[in-house]
Amino acid sequence: MLVLFISDLHLDASRPSATDAFHRFLRQDARKADRLYILGDLFEYWVSDGDQNPHHRGVIAALAELTASGVSCYIMHGNRDFMLGKQFEQDTGATLLYDPTLIYAGGKSVLISHGDALCTDDIAYQRFRKIVRIHWLQQIYHSLPFALQSRIFAKTRRASMNKLSDKPPEILDVNPQAVIDSLKRYEVDTLLHGHTHRPAIHHFEIDGRAMTRIVLGDWYESGSVLSWDDAGPRLSSLDF
């Protein structure tokens, strides 16, 4: 059984090479898989399911073709597209996942996450993340006209980007203790996430037990893909 994982594509009309690569990936590599997991930030931004952006609709149509072909697709919210909702699920045929989620790949339990919740040194962001994911606040937001949603989203995004530029790089990576705590809480030895844009497979020990943390890369210069079958996980890059 072949399972594919990607994350942090940040698809946007301003970066057509990444979008073209994603469409090719869905038509070719993804069709050979049993399951595809997209671990957050599929889009550079997502205002709400009322979005009729032609670029976004093209991505949605491509995902719908993939799932109609029989490939199961699972998508996790990222920090850029946490407003993906039920209509998006219906339009794509994909399933939205909670963050984190336990899955099976290569015959073992794997904890998957977007990864932003593990960056606990960024206290201001964690506070923001908690607020914007309050269910009743999201319900109010989704009840607003799309034009108003767009203005609120744009203002919030500008403020977030301005704050990001002032933050030291070290607080933007995952906190080692947060990683350990997650592995212990879910009683697994493998964690897979994106968000940090630092692709690697890390091996370490906790209380004498071998552990693995796999980090997916982004899709800015090339496409980061993790393939996992009975032979184990393999990180690779797609040329644009």
Ordered structural domains, the chain, with CATH: 3-239 (3.60.21.10)
Whether the bond between 176 and the residue before it is cis, its omega within 30 degrees of 0, is no
Radius of gyration of the chain (CA): 18
**Per-residue pLDDT tens for 46-89?**
999 999 999 999 999 999 999 999 999 999 999 999 999 999 99
DSSP β-ladder status, 200-206 and 190-193: unpaired
- What's the whole-number mean pLDDT along residues 113-128? 95
Chain centre distance of CA 151: 24
pLDDT at 208 over 90: yes
Torsion over CA: 170, 172, 178, 179 (sign): negative
Given a cut of 90, is residue 225 above it in pLDDT? Answer: yes
How far is the C-alpha of 149 from the C-alpha of 159, rounded, in Å?
A: 16
Q: Is 183 helix (H, G, I), strand (E, B) or coil?
A: helix
DSSP, residue by residue, 57-112: HHHHHHHHHHHHTT-EEEEE--SS-TT--HHHHHHH--EEE-SSEEEEETTEEEEE
Is pTM beyond 0.85 here? yes
Residue 174 contacts residue 214 (beta carbons within 8 Å):
no
What is the per-residue pLDDT across 21-54, written as a single tens digit (0 to 9) for each?
Answer: 999 999 999 999 999 999 999 999 999 999 999 9
Torsion over CA: 84, 86, 91, 95 (sign): positive
Dihedral sign computed on CA atoms, order 96, 100, 102, 103: positive
Averaged pLDDT of the chain: 95
- The residue-averaged pLDDT of 120-136 equals 94
Identify the pLDDT of residue 19. 98
For residue range 147-203, list pLDDT tens digits in order. 999 999 999 888 888 777 667 777 789 999 999 999 999 999 999 999 999 999 999
Rounded CA separation 31/188 (Å): 29
How confident is the model at residue 165, as a pLDDT? 67
